[in-house]
């Protein structure tokens, strides 16, 4: 049974040092506990057949629907330190082709590979549920992301701090090419770097293939994609948690949801990763870290940009220098939308920054405050310095008048920009804890359902209210 898969894995056309053929480890009694029917149908898959005991065999790795899967090799700067890596607990089932689009279908948590080092290659249920919840929430919010097709219990256990249920996530991506993949390639040789770059261009930017300056255009496109993505993260209050170069997809999709979270009370220094003790990946650092990662990516392309190294560095630096302006433009466009302004002007920068200053000084909830502004519920925004907030509101209304906008027009834009619900940390943790301890995924499924309509105010207040101090979750874990 093919389940509608149409595999054509072009990555296998690369030199074998980029990957290793790897069959997933067998699971004792696989059972699908979450299945994304809408995503399956959009991919042209046979959803009802795949969401079955036979389908569970494929989505756990017990059965192979096509060619032998592969584990991909890559490297990466992890918290600034360079390391040789690879898919230590994941395999690529294949590249599924649908409507002239190519999608990687990967099993995460499917057992040991050549790149596992000391790991067991498996994944606990909780982190796989977390990636499903957060990635699908990001998709509903319109943020570029990998997607989650299913979570499948294996029937086995893993040992972390305690004994936990093991699960496999089925992840969908435009590709799993990372900045770290290119770092791995250039270590092999300049020939390998060229082979990988040519492949990436053909797959993601085919219009560049015949261009004389295709590698320059490629770098430029990746810089654009990352500046757009990080601006989206910052505007919505999302904290990735581990922005290593191996977690930067050249497609511009958010990838590898480990210790990630959405910010509750606005604080630019917020860190949610339990392992980020230095705060390298705190919220306010994300734009700069993305630029740093892009610089490491650009280094791998230097031999391709120009035969003279000095000229190659000049070209790369020019493209990297564009990042700051691109990011700022994307971020400002997103932020003025949040206050009902369709297109930004220079004068709007201070308006945005002053509002963020109020949020930080008053420790206001990021999502709820912007939603309250959208709905005109100003009285629900409780602050100590009421005069400062009133002053900002007067300036905001004046800015709208100068642009010939009414507050009503502004709020039409705002209610479709500022979500009512996000995957709040305490709700996610509560749902995952309940699923792990009781085998009941009803809370997880309800949360996923609510998050599919993030701009809907009709949900129970439980899903909208900011948590109290005692409910805040300050650390999340990757679960490796």
**Which residues on adjacent β-strands are paired with residue 106?**
92, 171
What's phi and psi for 191, nearest 5 deg?
Answer: -65, -45
Block residue for tokens 């705002």: 414
Q: What is the CA radius of gyration of the chain?
A: 23
Instruction: Count how many Cα atoms sit within 13 Å of the Cα of residue 139 in the half-sphere of its side chain.
Output: 20
| 117 annotated as a binding-site residue | no
| 247 annotated as a binding-site residue | yes
| 334 annotated as a binding-site residue | no
Block residue for tokens 């490297």: 75
| 89 annotated as a binding-site residue | yes
Of these residues, 104, 246, 276, 334, which one is catalytic? 246
Q: Which of 318, 330, 317 is nearest to 287 (CA)?
A: 330
Q: What is the DSSP pairing of strand 261-262 with strand 238-239?
A: antiparallel
- Size of the chain in residues: 480
Largest CA distance in the chain: 67
Q: Which residues contact 51 (CB under 8 A, 6 or more apart)?
A: 32, 35, 37, 40, 150
Q: What is the 3-state secondary structure (H, E, C) of 335-391?
A: HHHHCCCCCCCCCHHHHHHHHHHHHHHHCCEHHHHHHHHHHCCHHHCCCCCHHHHHH
d(Cα 90, Cα 183) in Å, to the nearest integer? 19
**35-62: b (≥16 Cβ within 10 Å) or e:** bbeebbeebebbbeebbbeebbbbbbbb
The backbone region for 363, taken as left when phi is positive above 0, alpha when psi lies in -120 to 50, beta otherwise, is: left
Q: Which residues contact 292 (CB under 8 A, 6 or more apart)?
A: none
| 354 annotated as a binding-site residue | no
| 88 annotated as a binding-site residue | yes
d(Cα 151, Cα 80) in Å, to the nearest integer? 32
246: annotated active-site residue: yes
| 120 annotated as a binding-site residue | yes
| 121 annotated as a binding-site residue | yes
Q: What is the 3-state secondary structure (H, E, C) of 205-220?
A: CHHHCCCCCHHHHHHH
Sign of CA dihedral 202, 205, 210, 213: negative
d(Cα 88, Cα 116) in Å, to the nearest integer? 4
DSSP string across 87-137? -SSEEEEEEEEETTEEEEEEEESB---TT-TT--SB-BHHHHHHHHHHHHH
Q: Which residues contact 438 (CB under 8 A, 6 or more apart)?
A: none
Could you give the angle at which helices 425-438 and 125-140 cross, rounded to 10 degrees?
140
Q: Which residues are annotated as a binding site?
A: 86, 88-89, 108, 120-121, 171, 178, 247, 256
Residues identified as active-site: 246
Q: Which residues are annotated as a binding site for ATP?
A: 86, 88-89, 108, 120-121, 171, 178, 256
Q: Which residues are annotated as a binding site for Mg(2+)?
A: 247, 256
């Amino acid at each position: 049974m093919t389940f509608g898969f149409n595999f054509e894995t072009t990555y296998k056309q690369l030199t074998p040092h980029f990957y290793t053929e790897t069959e997933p480890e067998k699971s004792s009694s696989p059972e699908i506990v979450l299945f994304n029917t809408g995503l399956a149908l959009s991919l042209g898959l046979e959803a009802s057949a795949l969401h079955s005991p036979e389908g569970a065999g494929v989505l756990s790795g017990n059965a192979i629907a096509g060619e032998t899967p592969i584990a991909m090799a890559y490297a990466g700067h992890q918290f600034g330190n360079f390391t040789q890596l690879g898919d230590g607990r994941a395999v690529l089932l294949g590249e599924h082709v649908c409507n002239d689009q190519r999608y990687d279908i990967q099993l995460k948590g499917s057992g040991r590979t050549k790149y596992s080092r000391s790991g067991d290659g498996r994944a606990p249920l909780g982190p796989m549920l977390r990636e499903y919840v957060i990635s699908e929430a990001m998709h509903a919010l319109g943020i570029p992301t990998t997607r989650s097709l299913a979570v499948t219990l294996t029937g086995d256990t893993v040992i972390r701090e305690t004994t936990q249920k093991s699960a496999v996530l089925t992840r969908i991506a435009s590709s799993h090419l990372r900045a770290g993949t290119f770092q791995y390639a250039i270590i092999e040789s300049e020939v390998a770097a060229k082979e990988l770059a040519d492949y990436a261009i053909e797959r993601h930017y085919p219009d560049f293939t015949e261009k004389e300056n295709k590698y320059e255009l490629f770098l430029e496109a990746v810089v654009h994609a990352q500046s757009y993505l990080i601006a989206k993260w910052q505007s919505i209050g999302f904290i990735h948690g581990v922005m290593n170069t191996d977690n930067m997809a050249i497609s511009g999709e958010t990838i590898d949801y480990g210790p990630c979270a959405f910010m509750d009370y606005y604080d630019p220094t917020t860190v949610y990763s339990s392992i980020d003790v230095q705060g390298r990946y705190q919220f306010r650092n994300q734009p700069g870290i993305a630029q740093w990662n892009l610089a490491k990516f650009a280094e791998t392309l230097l031999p391709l940009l120009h035969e003279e190294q000095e000229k190659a560095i000049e070209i790369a630096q020019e493209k990297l220098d564009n990042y700051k302006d691109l990011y700022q433009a994307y971020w400002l466009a997103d932020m003025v939308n949040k206050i009902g302004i369709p297109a930004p002007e220079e004068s709007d920068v201070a308006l945005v920054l002053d509002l963020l200053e109020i949020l930080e000084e008053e420790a206001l909830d990021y999502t709820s405050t912007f939603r309250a502004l959208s709905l005109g519920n100003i009285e629900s925004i409780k602050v100590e310095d009421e005069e400062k907030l009133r002053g900002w509101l007067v300036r905001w209304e004046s800015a709208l008048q100068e642009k010939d906008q009414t507050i009503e027009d502004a709020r039409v834009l705002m209610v479709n920009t500022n979500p009512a619900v996000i995957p709040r940390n305490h709700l996610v943790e509560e749902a995952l804890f309940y699923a792990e301890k009781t085998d009941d995924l009803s809370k997880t499924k309800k949360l996923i359902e609510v998050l599919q309509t993030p701009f809907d105010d009709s949900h129970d207040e439980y899903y909208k209210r900011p948590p109290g101090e005692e409910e805040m979750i300050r650390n999340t874990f990757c679960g490796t």
